[in-house]
């Protein structure tokens, strides 16, 4: 899969963009614990290279991002793109599909039954934004160190916490993490915290327009309920 990912990045121009993003990080005087890269992927093009990997990206995007993470880490080390980078865990990859297959199974419909949306895969959704919250900050990544000074993990970049889609804020930053080597509490190195913007949007299904137009269906009773979307 890593070979397919590298070939796709090379053919799609993603590798060139990745190199340019690395140069921005390398030229920056700021120290980073997490290096975040956004990679656009065309599922159809990847499926032509390797059908299994194309399906992997569509249905298990978090695991597929780890494949690109490994490829990007090898590229950075091989080409010496970011001198400050130490571990693969410091790389955060966000996959952004250019489109999804035009099939019903890829359309998110909260009125469909059964509600089999426990998998963390890509869906398309269409709705109307009826309320929007203010833009606030959230932690994209953080560096932790062992509080025991004699522990080898009291320095370096072994403990990197990165926000994943669907995770809560406490999954990235909290005070009860412990060292896997000596079981001492971990302390966050605040100067390496990476912040991002988030916004909460209240959405409602586009079918509500039919009700507002006085559209009558065969169903005697129906209800349209709003749902919350987190934009990060």
pLDDT digits (tens, 9 = 90+) for 29-61: 888 889 999 999 999 999 999 999 999 999 999
Give yes or no for a contact between 196 and 173, defined as CB atoms under 8 angstroms apart.
no
Give yes or no for a contact between 147 and 185, defined as CB atoms under 8 angstroms apart.
yes
Neighbours of 164 (CB within 10 A): 13
Residue 114, pLDDT above cutoff 60 = no
Which residues in the chain belong to E strands, given as ranges?
Answer: 35-41, 91-97, 127-132, 136-146, 159-162, 186-188, 194-205, 227-231
Residue 98, pLDDT above cutoff 60 = yes
Domains of the chain: 1-99 (3.30.1640)
| Mean residue pLDDT across the chain | 89
Give yes or no for a contact between 142 and 172, defined as CB atoms under 8 angstroms apart.
yes
Radius of gyration of the chain (CA): 21
Angle, helices 2-12 vs 14-27, to 10°: value is 90
Q: What is the pTM of this model?
A: 0.84
Residue 105 banded pLDDT, cuts 50, 70, 90 = confident
* CA torsion through residues 142, 81, 94, 28, sign: positive
Tens digit of each residue's pLDDT (9 = 90 or more) over 140-197: 999 999 999 999 999 989 899 999 888 888 889 988 999 999 999 999 999 999 899 9
Which among 128, 134, 156, 129 is positioned nearest to 143, based on CA atoms? 156
pLDDT at 217 (0 to 100): 59
């Amino acid at each position: 899969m890593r070979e397919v990912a590298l070939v796709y990045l090379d053919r799609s121009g993603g590798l060139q963009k990745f190199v340019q993003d690395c140069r921005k990080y390398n030229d920056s005087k700021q120290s980073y614990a997490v290096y975040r890269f956004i990679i656009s992927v065309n599922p159809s093009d990847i499926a032509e290279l390797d059908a299994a990997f194309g399906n992997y990206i569509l249905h298990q995007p978090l695991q597929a991002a780890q494949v690109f993470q490994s490829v990007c880490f090898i590229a950075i080390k091989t080409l010496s793109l970011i001198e400050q980078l130490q571990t693969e865990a410091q790389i955060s990859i966000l996959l952004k599909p250019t489109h999804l297959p035009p099939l019903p199974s890829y359309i998110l419909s909260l009125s469909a039954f059964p509600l089999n949306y426990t998998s963390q895969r890509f869906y398309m959704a269409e709705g109307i934004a009826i309320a929007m919250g203010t833009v606030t900050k959230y932690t994209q990544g953080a560096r932790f160190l062992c509080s025991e000074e004699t522990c080898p993990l009291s320095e370096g970049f072994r403990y990197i916490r990165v926000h994943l889609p669907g995770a809560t804020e406490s999954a990235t930053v909290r005070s009860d993490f412990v060292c896997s080597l000596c079981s001492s509490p971990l302390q966050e190195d605040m100067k390496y915290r990476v912040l991002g913007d988030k916004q909460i949007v209240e959405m409602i299904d586009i079918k509500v327009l039919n009700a507002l137009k006085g559209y009558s269906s065969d169903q005697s009773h129906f209800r349209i309920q709003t749902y919350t979307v987190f934009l990060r």
